[in-house]
Structures are given as C-alpha cells and as structure tokens.
Structure 1
Amino acid sequence: MGIKIVPRHGKSLKDRLYLPAIAGGMKTTFTHFVKNLKDTSNLKTLQYPEVQPTDLTDRYRGVHRLTKWEDGSEKCVACYMCATACPAQCIFIDAQERFDGVAEKRPKQFKIDLLECVYCGYCVEACPCDAIRMDTGIFSFTGSKREDFLVDKDYLMSNERSKDFNND
C-alpha cells in the first residue's frame, strides 16, 4: 500500500555505536590542531574589532538609517510598506499628521528591533520614498541590555552613509 521498508545498514555492534565515525572525526580534528599549532601564520583570525574585515562588498547590509530632506526633516511618509515587507516583523511605526506641505504623514515613532532583524533588506526595497537604507557601514552593533538594540527615529536619522559605499 505504498509503504517502503528501507533496510538498516550497520548490523554489527561496532557500526551501531558509530565508533569508527567518531574516531575518524577526532583524527581530522587532531590533525588540524597539530598543523595549526606548528605554524600559526596560516590561521585566518582577525583581532576584531581592532582589525576590521576587508572582504566586505559594497552590497553588504549594515545597520539601518533614515534619510532626510535638505531641510533636515525625515523622508519617511509613514506608509508602513517597510513594516509590511519585513519578514521578522521588527519595524514599528506610529504615524502622525504632517502640516509642512511635504507629505500627509510622518512617523511620530519609528523603531527597529535589531535583535529581531535578519538584515534581509526587504524594507529598503519596499520603501517608495527611498527613506530607509542599510548603507551605514555599521556591521556590529553592541549593547549590554536588550533595550540597547531597540533603536528609535532619532538614532536612525543620526546615522550617516558610510564613505566606503557608493550607493545613491
């Protein structure tokens, strides 16, 4: 009736204990350990954060930033497209009315939980106003408590584009 019986390999006790596989893995690990202990010049280790990686491409995504108009106001019109496109659901926007004639709405609050963010860039692609970008060049964001990773509109607007990136 469509049931396929697959025979189990390794009938002996030695095969069922996986001892040859464990010994083979330990042999490989010990071989690498001894080789690296004799010649440490081939180790590919960076003393991060003092030494920054040099193999990052221009398309590498860093911490978010909100872009501004020439007068210093945010370009975001609180359309919720970035929050809708976000698969991690880590973008939180609270809109308010805008009276300066630039747009109808603006974000009263704009928060991103960087611990939840998967840095996929969907928010950047979804934004119709080019208001959010991930070209700051900040690739490691550290904090001592969870609240440090919930960034708000003021932080996002203070981030500048990294000089290393050629994004427009």
Structure 2
Amino acid sequence: MATIVVKRPKLKWWEKLYLPALIGGIGVTIRHFVRTLTGRTKVTMQYPEEKWNDHLPEWYRGAPALVTDEQDRERCVACQLCEFICPPRAITITPEEIASDDKWAKVEKRPREFEIDMIRCIYCGLCEEVCPEQAIFLRQEYAITGTSRAEMVHDKKKLYEIGGKRVGLVNKWNALK
C-alpha cells in the first residue's frame, strides 16, 4: 500500500492573519443585520400569535395518525409493517382476529392495540410509505405537546380521532412514474 504525500501550499503573511476570512464573515453579519433592521428579511416569528400554517410546504411531515375509510371502518389490517420499519421503534401493534360474522369484517385481523410514542417518533414518514392499506398518514401539524410522557403516547382511539376519515385511495406515487 502506497503512501500519498499531500503538499500543502505555504500561506502568505496576510493569509496567516486570516484577515480575508474575518472580513468576509463580518460582511455577511453586517448584511444580515441591515436587512433585519430595514424589515426586508423577517427572522423571528412570534409563535403563539403567528402560526406556520400558511408557510408549511405540502411535503411537510408532521405527526402520524390513523385514518378510517368511507364507511368508518379501520383501514389498518395489523400487518405490522410500520412497526418493523420504524427506525426508533416508536410504533407498537398488538393484532387480534376479527370474527367472520362481524358486519365490519373485511379482513382477518385488526389492531387490538396501536400505540405511537411521539417522543420517540422522528417523523421520517417510513410508516406512511410502507403501509399497503394507506391507513397511516403524516399530518400537517407541528404543535404536539404534553405535560407528561404518558400524554405523548397516542393510543388507537387518539390516532383515529386526530386522523379522521380518508375517502378513496391516495395515488401518491403516480406523479413519480
């Protein structure tokens, strides 16, 4: 294995003082300062009074939620793909069988328990991408608060409550073909 010798150029006396780099950095700081003072660039948003809702891009990934279909049936079939693909292991699913005589039975199992720990969730969107039934979606909500750890673990009831109803299928990948 050969050794590669990297020759470094000798610095001139003004480069050793780092004056060009310092002057450039101070120049950037002064430009930002002047833009902020003249009101051309808004840096701070007064959060409780001003919201980001108008400024959120459509691809913003907020907190995940479960959705129901047109007939208020659970779309989730407890395949557990979202649980297995979740990098921080924030999703926990306990499946149960559905009785064949149940009027809402369209598949053989559903989640008995479905929990997402919002503290552990990194909002990567892998759960939404992997779901074959389009049962889990990331919302456009960024204010997720709680006063205890227990409040930040959303159960199935809470996830369906905040997710709502989704009519039809979402053809999110058709635009990429």
* TM-score (norm. length: structure 2): 0.71
In structure 2, the CA distance between the partners of 1:111 and 1:30, relative to structure 1 (3 Å rule), is same
In structure 2, the CA distance between the partners of 1:69 and 1:27, relative to structure 1 (3 Å rule), is closer
The aligned length equals 162
Separation of aligned partners in 2, 1:125 and 1:17: 52
Task: Give the RMSD, CA atoms, in angstroms.
Answer: 3.1
* 1:118 CA displacement: 2.6
In structure 2, the CA distance between the partners of 1:36 and 1:130, relative to structure 1 (3 Å rule), is closer
In structure 2, the CA distance between the partners of 1:128 and 1:36, relative to structure 1 (3 Å rule), is closer
How much identity, in percent, do the aligned residues show? 38
Q: Which residue in the other structure is 2:175 paired with?
A: none
Q: Which residue in the other structure is 1:122 paired with?
A: 126
In structure 2, the CA distance between the partners of 1:56 and 1:36, relative to structure 1 (3 Å rule), is closer
Ranges in structure 1 where 5+ consecutive residues have no aligned partner: none
> In structure 1, what residue type is equivalent to 2:155?
D
Q: Which residue in the other structure is 1:91 paired with?
A: 91
In structure 2, the CA distance between the partners of 1:113 and 1:22, relative to structure 1 (3 Å rule), is farther
In structure 2, the residue corresponding to 1:84 is in which secondary structure?
A: helix
- The answer to whether residue 28 in structure 2 is matched with residue 28 in structure 1 is yes
Q: Which residue in the other structure is 1:133 paired with?
A: 137
- The answer to whether residue 161 in structure 2 is matched with residue 158 in structure 1 is yes
Q: Which residue in the other structure is 2:3 paired with?
A: 3
Q: How do 1:8-23 residues align onto structure 2 when only pairs under 5 Å count?
A: 8-9=8-9, 21-22=21-22
Cα deviation, 1:105-162, whole Å, max 9, x if unaligned, reads 221221112233232222112112221112x331221233333322211110101459
Q: Which residue in the other structure is 2:51 paired with?
A: 52
Q: Which residue in the other structure is 1:42 paired with?
A: 41
Separation of aligned partners in 2, 1:17 and 1:87: 47
* TM-score (norm. length: structure 1): 0.74
Ranges in structure 2 where 5+ consecutive residues have no aligned partner: 171-177
Q: Is the 8 A contact 2:68 2:164 kept in 1?
A: no
In structure 2, the CA distance between the partners of 1:63 and 1:12, relative to structure 1 (3 Å rule), is same
Separation of aligned partners in 2, 1:10 and 1:143: 57
- The answer to whether residue 142 in structure 2 is matched with residue 143 in structure 1 is no
